[in-house]
Amino acid sequence: MTATRYPCLADRAVIITGGASGIGAAFVRAFATNGARVGFLDLDTTAAAALTAEIAATGAPTPVFIPCDLLDIPALQHALATLHTHLGDAAVLINNAANDRRQDFPDVTEAEFDWSLAVNFKHHYFAAQAILPQMQRLGHGSIINMSSIAWMGGGPRMQAYSAAKAAVVGFTNSLARDVGQYRIRVNAIAPGMVITPRQRELWYQDESLIAAGRARQCLPDPIEPEDIANLALFLAADDSRLITKQCLQINGGAR
């Protein structure tokens, strides 16, 4: 199957948080392949270096990587300012970084709760706040916030994570209302069961769990990181110019 290419994305500056691995790395590859000038943030410097070298070897524009702990909001703001010096005004922001660590509800401390909301939502808010003036100068932009179907279906041992991912959608809807006048669109993506290497290592060592998840889908095929990236390309491109304030699910029709 051949993915659609979007000439309108060529030479546009695209910022991606959590871009070194998993779905984030698929975002970085997809936008670079479409000729975008990509900047991404992550803590995993080894994976980021390997991804940057991989993309550079293809002849696509080499991404700019800035290491950053997204829990440190001043550090996030500084990293985004640094990316601006390299790339100029950003036309696309993908708030991707997250951590779906399972928690036993009776034992969750206030610090653990705060950590979950910070790593899964807070940086979305402040990254958008930092990038918005750049999009206003351009006169257009696309902000894509990563949510999850976990808050819709009630993922077990994921109460704080689910609350954060529901907050992402509320934030998306409210921000879209305020910035539409500048032709800036704000949407969310809620993936279903995407088995990245991290997911397999932590939560899906048992193949029967994967089979059970796939059995709940209408479509039998696994959901790949590239499937999520293909939707992000569309939401970032001019082809979706009148799509905003939406949360789009990619779950194979899961129930």
CB 238 within 8 A of CB 179: no
User: Which of the pair, 151 or 213, is modelled with greater confidence?
Assistant: 151
**pLDDT exceeds cutoff 90 at 211:** no
Query: What is the mean predicted confidence (pLDDT) over 26-46?
Result: 98
Is the per-residue pLDDT at 196 higher than 80? no
pLDDT at 205: 67
* Segment among 32-41, 107-116, 195-204 with least mean pLDDT: 195-204
- Distant-in-sequence, close-in-space partners of 232: CB < 8 Å, separation ≥ 6: 27, 30, 31, 94, 144, 189
Lowest mean pLDDT among 32-36, 123-127, 166-170, 196-200: 196-200
Q: Where are the domains of the chain?
A: 7-196+224-249
* Structure-token pair, residue 111: 């610090």
- 218 φ, ψ (degrees, to nearest 5): -70, -40
> Is 180 a residue whose pLDDT tops 60?
yes
pLDDT of amino acid 200: 65
| Residue 162 pLDDT > 90 | yes
Work out the percent of the chain whose per-residue pLDDT is above 90.
86
Give the residue numbers marked as catalytic. 161
* Pair of tokens at residue 157: 């041992």
Give 192's contacts (C-beta < 8 A, 6+ positions apart): 149, 213, 217, 223, 249, 250, 251, 252, 254
Top-confidence residue, 3 or 149? 149
Q: Which amino acid is it at 133?
A: P
Dist CA 158 CA 166 (whole Å): 12
Gap between the Cα atoms of 73 and 142, Å rounded: 22
What is the average per-residue pLDDT within 160-185? 98
CATH fold of the domain at 7-196+224-249:
Rossmann fold (3.40.50)
Question: ∠ at Cα 234 (229, 239), nearest 5°?
Answer: 170
Whole-number pLDDT of residue 212: 82
Judged against a pLDDT cut of 70, whether residue 30 lies above it is answered with yes
* Per-range mean pLDDT, top range of 150-164, 198-212, 234-248: 234-248
